[in-house]
Chains A and B, each alone.
Chain A
């Protein structure tokens, strides 16, 4: 058995009495004080996440732009330098290898950020596609620690320790600068449905930065947040998770990510199958579910209608913000009708749920709308 990997912030998690779990081969904090408390902290104040386990792959070279265009479904050619794009990356079958962020330095230099548990798989996949392109690829995951400060007070708190004018960093943009005297890459991105920043820093400086942010945010109650709340936060905001809403057997159209698939691009891996699916209609659709009977729908529980299996739950949980039990499910497209009632099979028992809009949570005063095809709430609310 492989030993679990640890981030440079491992000792900090111990100091904060985190409960640690194996997450995709990483020993990560699932919670510090409690999932619900941490969830509310991010929705109402701000919370600090260690997301150093995320993978980073650098793409450089003359053909970098062309290569990424072929690799992902979204269109990176229209992206300005200094901006970020969200995209699925597909197999020729149309199934999803991973979902990722592309940071564009310029047309010959990009940084791709991928899911932690997929990093090795993704890197191998990307390398394999690169044969006929003039590009240099490097898995630089070990060179970066990553902190995410998320919540309505994120900008206020972070601004105290940087000369950068954070209000100038637009949603899905990034810049370089010093935070607490440490050189960082800062982007206005996140995975919580709140405003916030993701900060890339060298492993050596990550502990200083972690402590400093908690110190300067202490007055507002900024606290460390574990993966448990990260999951409930992203789920309420309908941000997909690989292994749940996304996978090798699920196409981006089925997962409701059609807006990030640019079928007018010359070519990309998976295009033929996805195009055919678009023309013939997608077989399945992702829907929101709200429990009518008592019970919590969990990932992979079967969904039935009139005793027939029609799909499965992709994510399900008690929603701390809404104070009710909700889920996302992938079901036969012709049954994906708002208001329909179906059965969640919980340990062999049929428990009723209703199809509802899948964007369970949308933050107020969302002043920075999507510009480059990010998973914006607006876009996703139009899908369900």
Chain B
């Protein structure tokens, strides 16, 4: 279920690395915990984001969640579809529900992120 080619963090966000372009999104576990996503706020193309800092919000009917950047860099693409159709985050978090693409300034923060095995271990621990 959780793709093997992604990096994960404890906030249940993922980063997909393709050259120097990093795609951010939230994990399947995150969308399940949130419930029906009804609003997504994302930065504009050209904005800069900072590793570890919030770059937007994802809101379900009941909750508001900050989403934080895995790396610092410039936003090169924004998934406007999820702004119009927020439930894409529920139906396809790893596909059509991606959030933004960032041109990374520095890859170092990715090294502290988890592999899929480590992330699934974390999920198993959180259940207990």
Contacts and interface: CB of A to CB of B under 8 A. Distances in A.
Interface of A: 19, 30-31, 34-37, 228, 231-232, 294-296, 298, 317-318, 320, 325, 347
Contacts of B41: 294-295
A228 B36 CA distance: 11
Contacts of B38: 36, 296, 318, 325
B49 to A, nearest CB: 16
B43 to A, nearest CB: 13
B35 A294 contact: no
A379 B41 CA distance: 37
Contact of A35 (B35, B57, B59, B64): B35
B4 interface: no
4 cross-chain pairs, A with B, having the tightest CB-CB distances, nearest first: A318-B38, A35-B61, A36-B36, A296-B39
B61 A294 contact: no
Interface in B27-66: 35-36, 38-39, 41, 57, 59-62, 64
A318 B35 contact: no
Contacts of A36: 36, 38, 61
Contacts of A231: 62
Contacts of A294: 39, 41, 83
10 contacts: A34-B36, A35-B35, A232-B61, A294-B83, A295-B39, A296-B39, A296-B64, A298-B64, A318-B61, A325-B38
The CB with the most chain A CB atoms within 10 A, among B41, B60, B61, is that of B61
A318 B60 CA distance: 9
- Where chain B touches its partner, the secondary structure class is strand
Contacts of B62: 30, 35, 228, 231
Contact of B39 (A30, A35, A232, A318): A318
A325 B64 contact: no
A231 B35 CA distance: 15
Contacts of B60: 35
Contacts of A317: 61
A316 B62 CA distance: 10
Given A31-B35, A232-B61, A295-B41, 9 more contacts: A30-B62, A35-B35, A36-B36, A228-B35, A228-B62, A298-B64, A317-B61, A318-B39, A347-B57
Given A298-B64, A318-B61, A19 B35 contact: yes
Interface string B68-109: 000000000000000100000000000000000000000000
A320 B39 CA distance: 13
Contacts of B64: 296, 298
